[in-house]
Amino acid sequence: MKQISLATSGFELVTKRTRKRVFLDEMNLVVPWTELVGLIQPYVRNSAGVKGGRPAFAVQTMLRIHFLQQWFGLSDPAMEEALHDTSLYCEFAKLDPGAMRLPDETTILRFRHLLEENNLSIQLLATINATLASRGLLLKTGTVVDATLIAAPSSTKNSSGKRDPEMHQSKKGNQWHFGMKAHIGVDAESGLVHSVIGTPANVNDVTQGHGLLHGYESVVFADAGYQGAAKRPEATGVAWQVAMRPGKRRALDKQTKLGALLDKAEQLKASVRAKVEHPFRVIKCQFGFTKVRYKGLAKNTAQLMTLFALSNLWMARRSLMQRATA
């Protein structure tokens, strides 16, 4: 008979609720586990092996572990070690820290590949957004679009002696960056992400602008990098509110009535565009995602989909918890 570990027997000596525990408790409440497990379950093989092998771990357990990786920036080997070292992670994943078997890095890797091969990251984002929309937290009247650079290893000191061929370099200001771009479209009212596109870093922002629209908005807000978006061949009847170029705005004579009005209009547009910076802050500062983890655009874009889906839940967590307790 398996011995019950002290970590789950009620003899815990530490009672302080750390920030990490509070974070996981909140996310546990707001993630729609039932819907997400139901989405993934049809793609999972039978729980038993071919010749009566060990049963697979529950889909919800593996999904919880996958989310832990995104929240705390853990690789597959690091996640395996963390499950052995940190009882809080096991508790969140509904595993007994004293169990004789915990998911190893290969099991964690295979679950991630399952999500990637079946494009489930896109559906995860759609499912979470459907939950948010059903609770009145995601509107469709306006969209804000923007992009951010995600760094990739530029070193050639590896087995192939080459950089990732799917990543490219781009100049921003006076500095060159190597990696990819994360293009997102967010709801102009709530700031929640509804569209994500991953491209090499040298792709111009304006070329991806229309791909970030969901088709129900009447107005789109964007910075000066999207100049000319309304004149592109794929343009629809949506009104584009694009920021004035910085040099042109500096040249405005604010002492005149027209100059002051134009400058005020730019301030108002900037206040709406600021919503798009919140998801970037969450994945970079809150979740610690500042560099790509994998090779190739497909895997990294799939991770971005999951990260932005989780950032939506993080930003909307207070409203979701209030509605759950109401």
| Residue scoring higher pLDDT (300 or 45) | 300
Residue 66 located in a structural domain: yes
Residues 82 and 153 in one domain: no
pLDDT at position 6 over 60: no
Rounded Cα distance between 309 and 123, Å, is 10
Predicted TM-score of the model (pTM): 0.89
pLDDT at position 18 over 80: yes
Residue 311 located in a structural domain: no
pLDDT digits (tens, 9 = 90+) for 167-188: 999 988 888 999 999 999 999 9
Residues 32 and 146 in one domain: no
Residues 166 and 291 in one domain: yes
SS3 label, residue 184: strand
Beta-strand runs (E) in 90-230: 142-151, 168-172, 175-187, 193-200, 219-222
pLDDT digits (tens, 9 = 90+) for 86-106: 999 999 999 987 677 899 999
CB atoms within 10 A of CB 60: 16
pLDDT at position 4 over 50: no
Residues 78 and 204 in one domain: no
Residue 301 CB contacts under 8 Å (≥ 6 apart), including other chains: 121, 196, 197, 198
Nearest to 144 by CA among 303, 257, 14, 278: 278
Residues 154 and 60 in one domain: no
% pLDDT > 70, the chain: 91
pLDDT band, very low/low/confident/very high, at 324 (cuts 50, 70, 90): low
What is the span of the domain harbouring residue 22? 6-117
Provide the H-helix boundaries in the chain.
Answer: 19-30, 33-40, 59-72, 76-85, 87-92, 105-117, 120-134, 246-250, 257-273, 277-281, 297-315, 317-325
Domain count, the chain: 2
Domain final residue pick, 102, 117, 132: 117
Residues 110 and 218 in one domain: no
Which pLDDT score is estimated for 61? 96
pLDDT at position 2 over 70: no
Residue 104 CB contacts under 8 Å (≥ 6 apart), including other chains: 80
Residues 171 and 290 in one domain: yes
Which pLDDT score is estimated for 163? 87
SS3 label, residue 133: helix
pLDDT at position 1 over 60: no
Q: What angle do CA 17, 20, 22 make, to 5 degrees?
A: 50
Residue 312 located in a structural domain: no
Nearest to 210 by CA among 183, 188, 180: 183
Residue 1 located in a structural domain: no
Residues 275 and 146 in one domain: yes
Which pLDDT score is estimated for 164? 87
Average pLDDT over residues 246-250: 89
| Structure token pair of residue 104 | 């190893």
Domain final residue pick, 49, 84, 117: 117
Residues 95 and 166 in one domain: no
Residue 126 located in a structural domain: no
Residues 102 and 188 in one domain: no
Residue 216 located in a structural domain: yes
What interhelical angle do 105-117 and 59-72 show, nearest 10?
90
Which pLDDT score is estimated for 321? 87
Residues 233 and 195 in one domain: yes
pLDDT digits (tens, 9 = 90+) for 30-82: 999 999 999 999 998 764 445 556 778 999 999 999 999 999 999 999 999 99
Location of structure tokens 């996958």: 66
pLDDT at position 228 over 70: yes
Average pLDDT over residues 131-151: 91
For all residues of the chain together, what is the average pLDDT? 89
% pLDDT > 90, the chain: 71
Residue 71 located in a structural domain: yes
Residue 256 located in a structural domain: yes
Residues 144 and 45 in one domain: no
